[in-house]
Amino acid sequence: MKLGGWLLCCALAAAAPGAAQAVDAQPGAGLDQLLQLLAARRHGHVTFSEVQQLAVLDRPLQSSGELVYDAPDHLEKRTLQPRPETLILERGVLTVQRGARKRVLSLRDYPQIVPFVESIRATLAGDRASLERYFTVSFSGSLDQWTLELVPADAQLAHTVRDIRIAGERDELHTMEIRQTDGDASTLTIGAALNP
């Protein structure tokens, strides 16, 4: 009997992936253009820094590292500071490597993790179908200075995440803010490109 996988899953009361109802929030032409622009970009390698505010902690957690993206579904988040950790999202499977320990999670089995990783991956890929499967998407601003607001469309997802705000210009992402329902929040800031 193999328990580990699903126990991890239920370490948070198990949530079921429901059939999300995508509500069209007047995406308009702006969103279409933006997603086309993003989809055209096949590769990215940038630095990032992240600040996380958790209610249980006195001070925010700070981390930094590199992000690597290859269209359409390979995303790597290499945290270098304060401690090395690598997250690789590839075709719906999340691999977490921390020290000698490696954990492999299928998003299908861990729907709770979906909003945290699919939000950025689907945005980078310009994958409207995926975005709208999990979120109600609203676009504001212009192509030169845009903001996407993602609100979980599914009650189960909305249980943990209140909303996600991604801002950028043209085909470059600048920040991603995730606000959780318990008040915890994180801000990911994207820095300089590392490779052409």
Partner 1 sequence: MTRAGVAGSVIWALLALGAAAIIARANYTADLSAFLPRRASATQRLLVEQLREGPAAHLIIVAIEGADAATRAQASIALAARLRSNPAFIGVNNGDATQLERDREFLFAHRYLLSADVTPQRFTVSGLHAAIGDSLDLLGSPEGVLLKPLFTRDPTGEMLGIIDSLDASHSPHTSDGVWSSRDGARALLMVQTRGAGSDTDAQEAACQALRHSFAAAVAASPSARRAALRLAMSGPPVFAVAARDTIKTEVVRLSSISAALIGALLLAVYRSLPALAFTLVPVASGALAGVAAVALGFPAVHGITLGFGVTLIGEAVDYSIYLLIQNRSDFRRSVWPTVRLGMLTSVCGFTALLPSAFTGLSQLGLFSVAGLIAAALVTRFVLPAWLPQALSIRDLTAIGSWLAVALEKVRAMRIALVALPLLAGAALYLHRDALWNRDLAALSPIPAAEQNLYERLRADAGAPDVRYVTVASGADRETALEAAQALTARLRPLADAGVIGGFESPSAYLPAPATQRARQQSLPPAPELTARLAEALAGLPLEAERLKPFLADAERARTGPELSRADLEGTSLARAVDALLVRSDPGWSALVPLSAPGPGELSDEAIAKVRAALTWPVGPHAQLLDLKGEADRLYGGYLADAVQLALAGFGAIVLLLLIMLRSPGRVLRVVAPLALAVLAVAGLLVTFGHQLTILHVVGMLLIVAVGSNYALFFDRSAAQPGQGSLALTLASLAVANLATVIAFGVLACSSVPVLADLGSTVAPGALLALLFSALLARPAVDARAEGH
Binding site for partner 1 (CB under 8 A): 1-14, 16-17, 19, 50, 52, 54, 56-61, 63, 79, 82-83, 85, 87, 94, 96, 98, 100-101, 103, 105-106, 108-110, 112-113, 116-117, 160, 180, 182, 184, 186
In angstroms, what is the minimal distance from the CB of 60 to partner 1? 8
**Closer CB to partner 1, 25 or 80, in the complex:** 80
> Which residues are CB-neighbours of 76 under 8 A, at least 6 positions away?
66, 67, 68, 69, 86, 87, 88, 89
Distance CA 167, CA 148 (A): 6
Extract the tokens encoding 182. 């318990």
Least CB distance from residue 59 to partner 1, whole Å?
A: 4
CB of 124 to partner 1, least distance (A): 16
Cα(45)–Cα(25) distance, integer angstroms: 31
* Burial (CB count <10 Å: 0-12, 13-18, 19+), residue 123: buried
Work out how close the CB of 109 gets to partner 1 at its nearest, in angstroms, rounded to a whole number: 5
User: Which CB, 11 or 129, lies closer to partner 1?
Assistant: 11
